């Protein structure tokens, strides 16, 4: 598991580096996004990955790896936005964004470690297609929770689905880095 933690940190740090640079370029323009818009942004990326997987070709240069990185970062945005009021579209300083990003990733990493303990790192034997399908499933669950006005009877909430999306994207990035899945 020590190797997994290092690989997880490496995958996330690559995503974080992009996130922070984009924050410096664009500010926190994503503050305007409501939950459904974040879900749709992740959906677009996951759907593109699935289409590339099925067609075995692509016409735009951004590769599958960069799409998983975007999915991970939008998952973090989703978690941050859940903590903020949707009607507050305030600019957040880059150093605060970096702190918030770290908090959300720390929680996702802790969840990953607990699940890895119980599941024995079963994700290492999963296909990239499965990660994509599971991310799409989590997005559909969030959409249904939104239709239910944020309420669930016995299921986890929106935040738990974002955490799973982050971790599935991180797992895909780790396996891409190991050369087990195409880039």
Residue 183 belongs to some domain of the structure: no
DSSP string, 65-114: HHHHHHHHHHHHHHHHHHHS-TT------HHHHHHHHHHHHHHHHHHHHH
Name the one residue in this structure whose structure tokens are 């955490």. 163
The pLDDT score that the predictor gives to residue 90 is 85
111/168 Cα distance (integer angstroms): 12
Residue 33 belongs to some domain of the structure: yes
143/78 Cα distance (integer angstroms): 13
The pLDDT score that the predictor gives to residue 61 is 85
The pLDDT score that the predictor gives to residue 183 is 63
Residue range of the domain that includes 16: 2-177
125/6 Cα distance (integer angstroms): 19
Half-sphere exposure of 86 (CA within 13 A, CB side): 8
The pLDDT score that the predictor gives to residue 1 is 60
Query: What is the value of pTM for the model shown?
Result: 0.95
Q: Are 132 and 175 in contact (CB under 8 A)?
A: no
The pLDDT score that the predictor gives to residue 17 is 98
102/84 Cα distance (integer angstroms): 16
* Cβ-Cβ contacts under 8 Å for 46 (sequence gap 6 or more): 67, 71, 132, 135, 136, 139
Q: Annotate 71-88 with b (16+ C-beta within 10 A) or e (fewer).
A: bbbbbbbbbbbbeeeeee
For the segment 22-72, what is each residue's pLDDT rounded down to a tens digit? 999 999 999 999 999 999 999 999 999 999 999 999 898 889 999 999 999
Residue 182 belongs to some domain of the structure: no
Residue 23 belongs to some domain of the structure: yes
Residue 29 belongs to some domain of the structure: yes
- Residues (pLDDT < 70) of the chain are 1-2, 86-88, 182-183
160/111 Cα distance (integer angstroms): 10
Residue 121 belongs to some domain of the structure: yes
Question: Kind and range of the H or E element at 13?
Answer: helix 2-26
* Cβ-Cβ contacts under 8 Å for 54 (sequence gap 6 or more): none
Domain count, the chain: 1
Residue 128 belongs to some domain of the structure: yes
Can you tell me whether residue 63 is helix, strand or coil? coil
């Amino acid at each position: 598991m020590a190797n997994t933690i290092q690989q997880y940190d490496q995958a996330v740090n690559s995503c974080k580096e992009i996130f922070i640079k984009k924050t410096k370029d664009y500010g926190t323009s994503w503050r305007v996004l409501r939950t459904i818009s974040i879900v749709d942004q992740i959906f677009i990326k996951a759907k593109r990955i699935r289409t590339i997987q099925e067609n075995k070709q692509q016409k735009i240069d951004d590769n599958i790896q960069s799409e998983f990185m975007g999915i991970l970062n939008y998952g973090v945005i989703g978690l941050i936005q859940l903590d903020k009021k949707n009607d507050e579209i305030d600019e957040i300083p880059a150093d605060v964004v970096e702190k918030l990003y770290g908090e959300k990733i720390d929680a996702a990493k802790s969840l990953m470690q607990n699940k890895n303990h119980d599941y024995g790192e079963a994700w290492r034997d999963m296909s990239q297609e499965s990660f994509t399908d599971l991310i799409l499933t989590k997005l559909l669950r969030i959409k249904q929770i939104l239709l239910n006005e944020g309420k669930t009877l016995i299921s986890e909430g929106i935040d738990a689905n974002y955490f799973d999306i982050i971790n599935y994207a991180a797992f895909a990035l780790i396996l891409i880095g190991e050369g087990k899945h195409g880039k």
